[in-house]
Amino acid sequence: MTRPLRSVLLTLLVLGVGASLAVGAGPAGAATSGQVHPSVEDPSVFQPVEVGPNTTRSLTLDTVEESAITAGSVSVTDAMQAESGAVEAILDSHAVQNRLAANDPDRERVLREALDRNADRVEELAHREQVARDRYRTSEIGPETYLSTVGQVNQEANALENTLRTYEALAEDHPALQDRVAAQQTDTLRYTGPVAGEIGTAVTGGDPTGDIFVSVGENGVALSAIRDGTYNREVMRTDARDDAVGGVDLDAAQSRIAELYPWAWENKGDVSINTVGQDVFRFQLSHGHGVLNSLLDTSSGNVYREVQEKSLSSLPVMSGPSTTVNNSTLQMSEPRPGSPLRVQVVNQTGVSEPATIQVEGSPIGTADESPVWLLTPPTSFNVTAETGTETLELGVQPE
């Protein structure tokens, strides 16, 4: 085995609930012990919050300044820019490999300069997303334009991750350079995920996406979507990390994740834990409702990237508003912006009735034996259900 690849320095699989992990190894000079504590004055703004009964918490934005339900579609300009950025990184990587294959006498310098260029690309991605987010949250652009940038950044981040894997292998004999590779990986990972990936594919020429809920604030973005019976949500907080290096104390990191996501930790199935760099842990926990992925900065004690996948068929929900006409009741779950909303019509005994459901006049499905699910809009909306004999209408105000 080569020198530890930082992104897979530690991969552990835990089967069953309550199993414990322990490790005493880490990068030279980086291992620490003790607890992981938030280093910010008000750690509560980074605490994942309860979103329903008996399910995992979710990372949120402390302030939402703009939100909408929209879709991603092809953008010639963004497709060209994403392709240009990806090709530039790939060609640079190939040039580096060719120089090293030709036995360049200063291998370390070649790799160091390549990582300098790659670092500039990562920084430019972050800047581009931040500028677009600032323009969206101040109403200079609409959500569709912002999503185009999100998709473009996602595609370039994927290309940079592939390049970093190449540099990671080439830097096998240079620990300091491997640390730099890993540090860049902790940044590119924040732009990847199932929703961002779907947007990236659409923006660069794939099929348009379905509905996507997007919310932004000064310090982050949240994206969510419902696809094939699964609710996907991903959140990035740009203010959750600090400049210190916290080390790779596994026990402390596990304790912190258990503190942040108590239900998920107590009900965990398989657990995969990877180190990414000198002070970031990537946790993947399966549980009864789906999978939780989180990136934990051990120095700040905060999760700065969270991706959740939840099966709608097993997701518990709180009861929300309802209305009854004769023997038919239109009922829905608690409406929280961007969260999955369950809508169904039942008879007086609680049995589902076939009904055509519309939101703001647009059909969203037919509820037969199972409920209809949709993303909760950010503002008030009207729901109409047509049964064979009744029309039920309900005005809804998201909480």
Confidence of residue 43 (pLDDT cuts 50, 70, 90): low
What does the alpha-carbon distance between residue 123 and residue 118 come to, in Å, rounded to a whole number? Answer: 9
Question: Could you count the other beta carbons within 10 Å of the beta carbon of residue 395?
Answer: 10
What does the alpha-carbon distance between residue 334 and residue 228 come to, in Å, rounded to a whole number? Answer: 21
State the pLDDT at residue 366. Answer: 81
Task: State pLDDT tens for residues 299-356.
Answer: 999 999 999 999 999 999 999 999 999 999 999 999 999 999 999 999 999 999 999 9
- pTM > 0.85: yes or no: yes
pLDDT at 228 over 90: yes
Task: State pLDDT tens for residues 83-129.
Answer: 777 788 888 888 988 888 888 788 899 999 999 999 999 999 999 99
Q: What share of the chain is helix, strand, coil (3-state, %, to 5)?
A: 35, 30, 40
Q: What percent of the chain has pLDDT over 70?
A: 88
| Residues composing the chain | 399
- What the block records as the tokens of 261 is 């996501």
Query: Contact, 234 vs 194, CB < 8 A?
Result: yes
State the pLDDT at residue 311. Answer: 97
Task: State pLDDT tens for residues 367-395.
Answer: 776 799 999 999 999 999 999 899 999 99
State the pLDDT at residue 367. Answer: 75
State the pLDDT at residue 35. Answer: 57
* Cα three-residue angle 286-288-289, rounded to 5 degrees: 90
For 360: left if phi > 0, alpha if psi spans -120 to 50, otherwise beta; the answer is: left
pLDDT at 131 over 80: yes
What domains appear along the chain, each with residue ranges and CATH number?
Answer: 1-62+219-316 (no CATH), 65-210 (1.20.1050), 319-396 (2.60.40)
